[in-house]
Amino acid sequence: MRKCHCTKQKLMKLKEELLAKHLYGLKEELLEELEKGCFKGDDEVVERAKSLVASLDEFRLFYPQLQHPILENLSDKKVFELFEHMKRELPLREEVVKRILVQFLLKFLMGSRCARAPFLVGPPGTGKSQAVEALRYALDRIGVSASVIRVVCTSGKLPEEQMDMKLFGTEVHYSNAHPSEILKLVAQKKHRVVIVFLDEVDKAGVEIVPILVKLLDPAQPLEDNFVSGMFPGRRHDMRYKVFVMLAGNRTGEFEGLPELCDRVEFIEFPPYSSEEKVKVLLNLSYRHLSNVLKRYSAETVRKVARKVLAAHKSLEVTFRYLVNRVEVELLERRYRFLRVGGKKVQRPADRTRIGFCVF
Task: Return all residues near 50 (Cβ < 8 A) that are at least 6 apart.
Answer: 31, 34
Closest CA to 139 of 75, 82, 208, 67: 82
Residues linked to residue 150 through DSSP beta bridges, in sequence order: 197
Q: For residue range 231-244, what is the model confidence (pLDDT) as tens digits?
A: 887 788 888 889 99
Q: For residue range 101-123, what is the model confidence (pLDDT) as tens digits?
A: 999 999 888 888 889 999 999 98
The mean pLDDT of 196-223, rounded to a whole number, is 89
The pLDDT value given to residue 348:
54
For residue 234, with 0-12 CB atoms within 10 Å meaning exposed, 13-18 middle and 19 or more buried, which class applies?
middle
Q: How far is CA 274 from CA 58, 278, 279, 313, 316, in A?
A: 59, 7, 9, 10, 9
Distance CA(224)–CA(234), nearest Å, equals: 12
Q: What is the value of pTM for the model shown? A: 0.75
The pLDDT value given to residue 120:
95
User: Residue 199 pLDDT more than 90?
Assistant: yes
Q: Which of 8-12, 20-24, 71-75, 282-286 has the highest mean pLDDT?
A: 282-286
Confidence of residue 27 (pLDDT cuts 50, 70, 90): low
User: Residue 264 pLDDT more than 80?
Assistant: yes
Q: For residue range 267-278, what is the model confidence (pLDDT) as tens digits?
A: 999 988 888 888
pLDDT over 90 percentage in the chain: 28
Q: For residue range 284-306, what is the model confidence (pLDDT) as tens digits?
A: 877 778 888 888 898 999 999 99
User: Residue 204 pLDDT more than 80?
Assistant: yes
The mean pLDDT of 252-259, rounded to a whole number, is 81
User: Residue 18 pLDDT more than 70?
Assistant: no
Distance CA(306)–CA(314), nearest Å, equals: 14
φ, ψ for residue 175, nearest 5 deg: -65, -30
Distance CA(192)–CA(207), nearest Å, equals: 31
pLDDT over 70 percentage in the chain: 73
Classify each residue of 84-111 as buried b or exposed e, where b means 16 or more C-beta atoms within 10 Å of its C-beta.
ebbbbbbbebeebbebbbebbbebbbee
